[in-house]
Structure 1
Amino acid sequence: MIDNTNRPPIGRRTLLAGAGALGVAAALPTASAQANPATRRGHAAACPENWPDPEPYGLADTRPDLWPRDDNSFVLPLELRPRDKERGVVWMRDTYVNCFVVGGRPLYVATGTSRVPGLGAAAPWNDGIFVWVSRSLRGPWRLADTTGIRPGAERGKVWSPEFAGENRPGRTVVAPWQQYWHDDAFGKRGNVWAPEVHHVRGRWYIVACMGDHSRKVGSFLLVSEGGVAGPYRLAEGNLDKPFGESFIGGPSFIAPGAYHHIDGSIYAEGHDAWLVLHNDLYAKFRADMEDIVPTTDLPKFQQSPYSPEPYLEGAYVFKHGGKYYLLHAAWNRSSVAPDGSTRYAYDPPGTGRTQYQYDAVVAVADRFEGPYSRRWTAGVGAGHNNFFTDHAGGLWATFFRNPNAGYWSDPSRIANAAVPGVVRLEWTGPEGERLYVRRR
């Protein structure tokens, strides 16, 4: 569980005093049982071992042990909005969950990319960012109480292009480049992707990305003027544009100069905080968190790339056991190997290559900036996620099952895609230094 940094779990006495009435102390197994699954299974070793990596570097590990399964994962029972009632579960991409210490008690938050009724995806427009909160990972999960901020508005919606009318001199909620617009090709346009909620030095922040159908595409920061429910305003550094400089990228329908760095995340430690961006970029925030520190070129993580290196998404940094873990989402593509077998690898798109699973690949380092180790497959189909620690010290990752392509896009499985899922992790200890989806 983290506050503004990777703090130790809440003390047992504080937890029982603060959460007894809510029943969260009994909601999950003990920290020792979760952190050391090998011990729980009766193994002599304190931690499970690393698996040998497929060779050559860049091949994907597709073993069923690395999949979120019924025995190691579940879909969060988030409070349903009216749009969710027919489906019976919240439609969500880019699931984000975390646990923070607030007033000495655990507070879990959940958010992700949302879609509007009548659209099959979160494009060409959606209606903003929703946040759910709970005192336990198992729930009950309630939509954040925004009724005192916007009476009569949909509960739990903490930010939306719809809120442009709340702009006032000296206080911008929605910048012009984030507002809805229209064109002949798509009609109404403007969508927000991949939000994350962070608690840095006692203040709530949301980092998110305006998606491909927006006037400008890229990452931005919202600053709460209250609690986790807001009200939120836009950070000063995003009044005119997303973070970083524009470059050529994204689908062909994005106008030249509109594309910036996407999938923003935050990593904070001590008095410092960094913006983590897609693929291999990061930037340090100013002390007031209103903008990133100016630089000619954004610094890059020192990584061990694949050859060739595909496009990576959903970068996230997590610290555990004194090590830094850099997460990426990578498409595992299948193709026919020279011997006729099926080859699974983190290849760029190409002839004969079919998107199979949207995986979580991870590397480890002694320092935030790296150098990072060779990557390994941490979770099959668990890409564009985050790692977090629960109130008892147990390790988890999120997943959503990508409905756009591959395994979960199949008509027989699509009903179980785009969900707010969490899966237990296991740590291979100070010798192995790896985090995996909990294996059988």
Structure 2
Amino acid sequence: MTSSENRLHIDRRSLLAGVTGSLGVAALPASAAQAAPAEAASQRRHPSNWPAPEPYGLADTRLDLWPRKDNSFLLPLELRPRDEERGQVWMRDTYVNCFVVDGRPLYVATGTSRAPGLSTAAPWNDGIFVWVAPSLKGPWRLVDTSGIRPEAERGKVWSPEFVGENRPGRTVVAPWQEYWHDERFGKRGEVWAPELHHFRGRWYIVACMGDHSQKVGSFMLVSEGGIEGPYRLVKGNLNKPFGGSLVGGPAFIEPGAYHHIDGGLYTEGDDAWLVLHNDLYAKFRDDMEDIVPTSNLPKFQQTPYAPEPYLEGASVLKYKGKYYLLHAAWSRTSINPDGSTRCAYDPPGPGRVQYQYDAVVAVSDNFEGPYSKRWTAGVGAGHNNFFVDHSGHLWATFFRNPAAGYWADPSRITDAAVPGVVRLEWTGPTGNRLYVQRQKQACTTGG
């Protein structure tokens, strides 16, 4: 995720309020001391932090933290032929962002797609689609790829199908990204969780080859033209995903094939980092063709749950001078000894039932940490991203996970896997938390 402070207008007075609010009045000049009551009044306009459920690791399930009709909406994305029967784009891992290009705001949207005739995005899908709009409300149009591939489906900017475009010195699809077949799954190979970024005047896509691929892990594409492409693979991914191989993933993944998943891009100034699951990050080389080589990737300094569950969908947003580290975590319900219901970010276990795929967040003064304890920022809003619109308002994406839990229920499944956005609120320079916009809160300075 890109730093909001490097690409969109942020009210300077708000930043100054955060600085002066952290100093003692006695240390200020007389003119500033006289302004302190006004600054305090400004802080009181912020909503309060909610006390975190105790013990640490319990999930906050209050309806105020859900995307609702009063704080969210589904993006009216242009339909592809595959979407017409449903009347809505099927999407997981919804990603939306706003960039200023040629002096104008440009909104972009992408996400995990499924191929026609399949009910999920696995064991194969057919690539990455991109939509653009002049505002968050639209109109949302598929990018015009007709000048690159006149016969291909509009808006598809990358796919394993494009392997025939490889040329000496220019790789579009690496051998490990190509489709393959086996007796258990038949056709295999899917791409998931794409992110689109505009950095140093170029367009980049960071995405992940999924569990049914020849190698599972994160990679990056760079456009040789505009947002529509054509895209090619960066040199660091010609033979494998970013980072070394790991032990993990479903049992059907071939030994040595599993790498770090859910890669995202964070930029600040002229520097860029790859943000990965498993607490990891890596600096990109200046030419953006690979990450800086290191024997061990550095880790974010986090405050883990005990025990720590599996987390994914990591990303970072810088806002008002603070760094916000996002993760997706499944909340699971179980029964306490007294018969009451427990809902927590527990690992899988006997009697634990998946409930919601939440967005959990922590805050720090530094990119690498140390980060605060996490809090529930959005119920059912996991594997998302936070972004700032061209007016300076904060938003998060969501998609309603159809794989398990609340949105997998047959009565709700038709409303799952959607491209949604929800307003966020900031609890001010004292609270320094981001939440899904709650119903009207009492105004305090945060807690």
1:339 and 2:324 matched: no
Q: Secondary structure at the match of 1:149?
A: coil
TM-score, reference length from structure 2: 0.90
TM-aligned CA deviation for residue 7 of structure 1: 2.6
Which residue of structure 2 lines up, in the alignment, with residue 328 of structure 1?
327
Give, in whole Å, the separation in 2 of the partners of 1:90 and 1:319.
30
Contact 1:279 1:328 in 2 (8 A): no
Q: Secondary structure at the match of 1:112?
A: strand
Q: Deviations over 1:27-79 (max 9, x none)?
A: xxxxxxxxxxxxxxx99922000000000000000000000000000000000
Which residue of structure 2 lines up, in the alignment, with residue 258 of structure 1?
257
Give, in whole Å, the separation in 1 of the partners of 2:255 and 2:201.
39
Which residue of structure 1 lines up, in the alignment, with residue 160 of structure 2?
161
TM-aligned CA deviation for residue 195 of structure 1: 0.2
Give, in whole Å, the separation in 2 of the partners of 1:165 and 1:429.
52
Give, in whole Å, the separation in 1 of the partners of 2:160 and 2:128.
10
Matches within 5 A, 1:253-332: 253-332=252-331
Contact 2:93 2:111 in 1 (8 A): yes
Which residue of structure 1 lines up, in the alignment, with residue 117 of structure 2?
118
Which residue of structure 2 lines up, in the alignment, with residue 375 of structure 1?
374
**C-alpha distance 244-436 of structure 1, shift in aligned 2 (>3 A):** same
Matches within 5 A, 1:103-142: 103-142=102-141
Give, in whole Å, the separation in 1 of the partners of 2:8 and 2:249.
40
* Identity level (%): 79
TM-aligned CA deviation for residue 287 of structure 1: 0.2
Structure 1 letter corresponding to 2:121: A
TM-aligned CA deviation for residue 6 of structure 1: 3.1
Contact 2:3 2:318 in 1 (8 A): no
Give, in whole Å, the separation in 2 of the partners of 1:206 and 1:381.
25
Q: Deviations over 1:139-191 (max 9, x none)?
A: 00000110001012100000000000000000000000000000011000000
Which residue of structure 2 lines up, in the alignment, with residue 409 of structure 1?
408
Structure 1 letter corresponding to 2:365: D
**C-alpha distance 282-173 of structure 1, shift in aligned 2 (>3 A):** same
TM-aligned CA deviation for residue 5 of structure 1: 6.1
Which residue of structure 2 lines up, in the alignment, with residue 204 of structure 1?
203
Structure 1 letter corresponding to 2:316: V
Structure 2, gaps ≥5 residues long: 12-40, 440-447
Which residue of structure 2 lines up, in the alignment, with residue 83 of structure 1?
82
TM-score, reference length from structure 1: 0.91
Give, in whole Å, the separation in 2 of the partners of 1:166 and 1:119.
26
Q: Deviations over 1:99-137 (max 9, x none)?
A: 001011000000000001111110000000000000000
Please tell me the root mean square deviation across aligned C-alpha atoms, in Å: 1.5
Q: Deviations over 1:209-264 (max 9, x none)?
A: 00000000000000000111110000000000000000111000000000000000
Q: Deviations over 1:264-323 (max 9, x none)?
A: 000000111000001300000000000000000110000000000000000000010100
1:430 and 2:429 matched: yes
Give, in whole Å, the separation in 1 of the partners of 2:4 and 2:244.
28
Matches within 5 A, 1:345-424: 345-424=344-423
Which residue of structure 2 lines up, in the alignment, with residue 18 of structure 1?
none
Contact 2:362 2:371 in 1 (8 A): yes
Structure 1, gaps ≥5 residues long: 13-41
Structure 1 letter corresponding to 2:260: H
Q: Secondary structure at the match of 2:429?
A: helix
Give, in whole Å, the separation in 2 of the partners of 1:48 and 1:269.
28
Contact 1:4 1:202 in 2 (8 A): no
Give, in whole Å, the separation in 2 of the partners of 1:177 and 1:43.
54
Q: Deviations over 1:376-424 (max 9, x none)?
A: 0000000000000001000000000000000000000000000000000
Give, in whole Å, the separation in 1 of the partners of 2:407 and 2:248.
26
Structure 1 letter corresponding to 2:364: A
Which residue of structure 1 lines up, in the alignment, with residue 232 of structure 2?
233
Which residue of structure 2 lines up, in the alignment, with residue 243 of structure 1?
242
Q: Secondary structure at the match of 1:6?
A: helix
Q: Deviations over 1:327-370 (max 9, x none)?
A: 00000000001221110000000000000000000000000000
Structure 1 letter corresponding to 2:255: P
Give, in whole Å, the separation in 1 of the partners of 2:405 and 2:2.
36
Q: Secondary structure at the match of 1:251?
A: coil
Which residue of structure 2 lines up, in the alignment, with residue 186 of structure 1?
185
Contact 2:274 2:283 in 1 (8 A): yes
Give, in whole Å, the separation in 2 of the partners of 1:273 and 1:44.
33
Q: Secondary structure at the match of 2:6?
A: coil
Give, in whole Å, the separation in 2 of the partners of 1:439 and 1:182.
47
Contact 1:92 1:420 in 2 (8 A): yes
TM-aligned CA deviation for residue 9 of structure 1: 3.2
Structure 1 letter corresponding to 2:189: G
Give, in whole Å, the separation in 1 of the partners of 2:65 and 2:255.
40
Aligned residues: 410
Contact 1:10 1:104 in 2 (8 A): no
Contact 1:126 1:191 in 2 (8 A): yes
Give, in whole Å, the separation in 2 of the partners of 1:401 and 1:374.
25
Contact 1:327 1:363 in 2 (8 A): yes
Which residue of structure 2 lines up, in the alignment, with residue 67 of structure 1?
66
Give, in whole Å, the separation in 1 of the partners of 2:117 and 2:367.
42
Contact 2:397 2:419 in 1 (8 A): yes
Give, in whole Å, the separation in 2 of the partners of 1:9 and 1:259.
37
Contact 2:124 2:188 in 1 (8 A): yes
